[in-house]
Structure 1
Amino acid sequence: MSLKARGKSTLVSEVTNIGKTGFWLLYQDIEYFILFNDYPAFKNATVKEIYSMKVIGPGQLRWKELDCDIEIDALEKPEEYPLIYR
């Protein structure tokens, strides 16, 4: 049996820049700005922890070391997703 190489991933996502007030996230050719004040789990995170983001499903992002998940829908329609941090 012959195994073929996997195709190119269609879920393109990466952290593109980190600033004083938040960071830029590129997901499927759209850039989003994540404010540290809106997502305090990232406020004291290291650069390595912020860059360790993984796509876990369509529109679902996870930072395992920070125990933080964000759905793209919440970034696009924040009024529909009140932020609750515990």
Structure 2
Amino acid sequence: YWSERNSKLYNGETSKALKRQNHKCGKCGLKMLGDEKVHLHHVDRNHSNWKINNLLAVHESCHDYIHMSKGASQEHRELGAVKVARPDLTERGGE
């Protein structure tokens, strides 16, 4: 009851995603409850892509987890590939 009622609180794509997902979170699969905030997640992280298959209605906490886990693993990969830029000390302003 609450999940269906909540889909009426959201308009547009969030409401459509909730109905398409049978009022369940696209991440954890649990029903949306009355006191939970629903977020719309772009699967490919492209916020210009509003195609149906790119949008998931998810719990706020699940949305945070999605971005934290992707961000942490991405940051870890980037740190391994980072090379420290060192200034060229051969030229000293014409001295």
Quick check: TM above 0.5?
no
**Which one scores higher on RCO, CA 8 angstroms, separation ≥ 6?**
2
Q: Name whichever structure is richer in helix by fraction.
A: 2
Task: Give the TM-score normalised by the residue count of structure 2.
Answer: 0.26
